[in-house]
Chain A
């Protein structure tokens, strides 16, 4: 891919460094450089197709040992004793650790409640109790099986209702009523607006656990050097993880170095809320050797941090002509045994949806409840898919009650650029209405409505997402360095990392565009907390927007230095110079005929190879122009919001209830699309995960855990169940984004469960109230259930769900 863009340097040279956001970044849309919006090949594609990429389990260090973990088989128990004698005697075993080997410090992103290894109590099936390091994985596993743990089994709370019951056993003694977190608000006076409503719809909708199912499980390799430990981890968030791991290990921050390996899928599941890396570090310290610890698939299911099951009671009010008045939700969320990021997810699941429509009043009461089940946490969408499912069902009911087609109802109420939500979401660019129209067109909404097919149904849903969110202290920024090398390349040093989305490729494109270099001449670092800039990492759909801006500024800064150096070297004013195709160009000097072309590397080398010579290193930073929301979640979370409208057509076999998603159209507003195949890939993959959440992903449960914690029961969508997809991007431009771009990583997952459910209701008149949408639930909705059999009902309490713990 040969790329360069005219006069990048010229534009940059005219600007002062670190100018304010808006003027500097508001490029005229018509002059986007050619490398922006182009299908640039991924910079890591060849490594990936050849199997040379080094994922967490591919790290090899001399003398490296392998770890294995002993986990609780009980949902709630007191540890009476741990006998490690037999394990220690097994040849090949180099370390056995228990809670006694830890710093006995609780850790967690928001509410520290997790020990690295259990001290006296285990709180879910999978809780870590002990661990072993041995010469090979099989020996480690055998040694782990030789550890004898004596438990006194305690009463456990295995459902939300059990946890909330009067006198329920406490998961943590300091969490009265098993309440981990709670907040609420009433903005705009909900009661008054409901009184003025002509149509009110209400219902209860519940989601279930969904696991990330990254094909690569969580893994770490740890090595100590004196009093410092280096962790090679497949984490999405190396700097945030380092902070938590240091706390968990009882070490100063400076004693922990985190290096990101290749990450085989993140989706929130590798954002540093689990114990694997911490245990790995403890094993390495005790054994005095490097240790690698990689979750088995079973461990990933038992002790990952799946999506939070949420039970929503939703109430919506409308005027008779379809204007939404008020929204009221009561939300109970299943935290599992430890909190991790669930507290933040609860916030998004409560407020984010209110940035979609012009509600006059919104009220909410949200509670996060401890149970003796696998801890829950961040998963792509971060609460939005749950909200979009529950609230989306209420909107779909309202459309039917009002006699307005859903796309038309959405258009009546959708936010626009300049809208401000009740929580102070300040919407900058917004093409939601364009998305609604385009999704309807792509699926052939009105044609299909005009000629309905029996047992087929249509539905539409919409969603909004952030481009980065201020969650961790009052900062959602990024910083980067761009070093120009004496061989004419740009080395981008940034700590954000790559989890598969193609972030390193888009950051390379931005750098190439700013510097007039080919993408092939740009390298983007992997995060290393010792070497790269500080970064929050891949979460909240933030890297393109936040890091993209920081990298762009750093590249621009480097370009200014380059032109300054060339100016001195050539004796020409910087304003006359520009960079293109890897060369610094100048028009013919006065009295000369030929223009001047000097390779970038020559300028860089000449700038260094002189007395008191200087390297060319540009720095840039960007802080999301957003607010740190308060305790009641008031505050403009993000500087830019992305939007989607999705429409689906499904077919139901009334004899079995089996549902087939035939077609799904997604129209996405993510601002400028920097790299079309990469952006499409985000949308296509998110839809597949949404279909898994909607239809296929569930377990059998017994005594607080899945009975077969592997892919036998838990079915990820395969190629065979994917519908025909229509993916479109709105014509959109975000003035604060890099070249007009916004986030796109999560948004397309959000509406999928809701539109599948609404389309099923449209097809056969059965409204599902608890995910996943199984053939059986649909069947019993069509056919009269036998006494005691599960049937469709409005109250989930009457709705036995096999996909949930009992």
Chain B
């Protein structure tokens, strides 16, 4: 985002960058290992930093067109989304929309279609911006990031993205899948556009409800964005059990309690989209809406 950061007054002029285009993931990782290099995929984040005249490494490594980097792969237990998948492709993925509607909704709510065609999922996550939409949905879904450097790989939770090193690259994002005999999952992403038009969220919330084969609640999950340290997974300990005991699925008391915890456990900041006090109220409101929709979808057994 463009910030009038007066501390930047004397950072000095930008020098032209060097752009390297590796042909394989390994080559990309070797270039990153050489130091003072940054990853560009869609190039949006880098272009905006440059516009703001923020310091940038001299070398850029282009990974947006690496082979296999923009594919979505399905197994019985998970869906693996390449980090180079554009948000527009994610938004339009019908199979993903059936399994994880929350994720396609989040991808589809970023800025405009034009921006979504440029931005990759990996880039959106690596920006480590608490207001970005996809990470909120991915956090609620319990997604794991496959991260590589030149020598090895590791797995990160969405919330640990701050630990991504300069020589590392997000390779893919993995979302768990539930076997049909294990019950159903419903999910929903809610983005509150407080002025009614496209922009960053006032609050954004992802919610997941898992029902067992009998329709009893097995698991609830909620993540909140646009808050300090976001996306923040909400601790809903005990709530799924409480809900599961109630026959006929999730009731309003459980949803209200989850919304209350979401508000209690998060620290929104005041900005042009609302004061912290207002956002706290909105976190509860949109947590309620997200959980209600997710529960409905789980009950319908279709995901959607």
**A residues at B contact (CB < 8 Å):** 73, 125, 141-143, 145-146, 148, 298, 302, 655-656, 658-660, 695-696, 698-700, 703, 705-710, 712-713, 715, 717-718, 720-721, 774-776, 779-780, 783, 785-786, 788-790, 802-803
**Which of these, B12, B197, B275, B281, contacts A721 with CB under 8 Å?**
B197
Q: B100 within 8 Å of A by Cβ?
A: no
Q: Which A residue sits closest to B7, measured CB to CB? A: A73
Of A141, A658, A708, which is within 8 A of B194 by CB? Answer: A658
Q: Does the CB pair A718–B197 fall under 8 Å?
A: yes
Which residues on the B side are within 8 Å of A712 (C-beta)?
Answer: 1-2, 199-200
Q: Is the CB of B198 within 8 A of A774?
A: no
The answer to whether A708 and B1 touch across the interface, beta carbons within 8 angstroms, is yes
Closest to B192 in A: A656
Residue pair B275, A708 in contact (C-beta under 8 Å): no
- The complex places the Cα of A708 from the Cα of B195 at a distance, in Å, of 17
- Which residue from chain B places its CB closest to the CB of A142 in the assembled complex? B13
B271 at the interface (CB under 8 A from A): yes
Q: Does B34 interact with chain A (Cβ within 8 Å)?
A: no
**Given A298-B4, A707-B4, does the pair A720, B196 have CB atoms closer than 8 Å?**
yes
Residues of B within 8 A of A705 (CB): 4
Q: Which residues of A contact B271 (CB under 8 A)?
A: 700, 713, 802
In contact, A718 and B272 (Cβ under 8 angstroms): no
Chain B 200-232 against A: per-residue CB contact (8 Å), 1 yes, 0 no? 101000000000000000000000000000000
- Distance between Cα atoms of A790 and B53 in the complex (Å): 35
Query: What B residues does A783 contact at CB under 8 A?
Result: 281
Our pick among B2, B53, B200, B281 for the contact of A779 (Cβ within 8 Å) is B281
CA distance A73 to B3 in the complex (A): 13
Q: For A786, list chain B residues within 8 Å (CB).
A: 277
Interface of A is mostly: loop
The residue in B14, B53, B277 that gathers the most chain A C-beta atoms within 10 A of its C-beta is B277
For B281, the chain A residues whose CB sits under 8 A away are 779, 783
Query: Nearest 4 pairs between A and B by C-beta?
Result: A142-B13, A789-B277, A700-B272, A776-B278
Write out the residue numbers on chain A whose beta carbons fall within 8 Å of the beta carbon of B45.
Answer: none
Show 18 residue pairs from A and B whose CB-CB distance is below 8 angstroms, ordered by the A residue.
A73-B6, A145-B13, A655-B285, A656-B194, A659-B196, A660-B196, A708-B1, A709-B4, A712-B200, A715-B199, A720-B198, A721-B196, A775-B274, A783-B281, A788-B277, A789-B278, A802-B272, A803-B272
Q: Interface of B with A (CB < 8 Å)?
A: 1-4, 6, 9-10, 12-14, 53, 192, 194-200, 202, 270-272, 274-275, 277-278, 281-282, 285
Q: Which of A73, A713, A721, A802 contacts B9 (CB 8 A)?
A: A73
Distance of A142 Cα from B53 Cα, bound (Å) = 10
Chain B residues positioned under 8 Å from A803 (CB to CB): 272
Contact A656 B282 (CB under 8 A): yes
B161 to chain A, nearest CB (A): 22
Instruction: Tell me the smallest distance from the CB of B192 to a CB of chain A, in Å.
Output: 7
Which residues on A sit within 8 Å (CB–CB) of B9? Answer: 73, 145
For B194, the closest partner residue in chain A by CB is: A775
Determine whether the beta carbon of A145 is less than 8 Å from that of B274. Answer: no
**A73 — which chain B residues lie within 8 A by C-beta?**
6, 9
For residue A658, which residues in chain B have a CB less than 8 angstroms away from its CB? Answer: 194, 196
Q: Give the one of A709, A713, A788, A790 with max B CB within 10 A.
A: A713
> Which of A141, A142, A695, A789 has a CB less than 8 Å from the CB of B196?
A695
Chain B nearest CB: distance from A505 CB in Å? 31
The CA of A717 and the CA of B199, in the complex, are separated in Å by 11
Give bound CA distance, A217 to B272, whole Å.
23
Closest to A701 in B: B272
Partner of B3, one of A125, A141, A708, A720: A708
Q: How far is the CA of A258 from the CA of B14 in the complex (A)?
A: 35
| Complex Cα–Cα for A703 and B277 (A) | 22
A298 touches B272 (CB 8 A): no
Contacting residues, chain A, for B192 (C-beta < 8 A):
656
B274 contact set on A, CB distance < 8 A: 774-776, 802
Q: Besides the contacts A696-B197, A713-B271, A802-B274, what 16 more A-B pairs have beta carbons closer than 8 Å?
A: A145-B53, A298-B2, A658-B194, A708-B3, A709-B2, A709-B4, A712-B1, A713-B272, A715-B197, A718-B197, A720-B198, A721-B195, A721-B197, A788-B277, A802-B270, A802-B271
**Measured between C-beta atoms, what is the minimum distance from B182 to chain A in Å?**
34
What is the CB-to-nearest-CB distance from B144 to chain A, in angstroms, rounded to a whole number?
Answer: 31
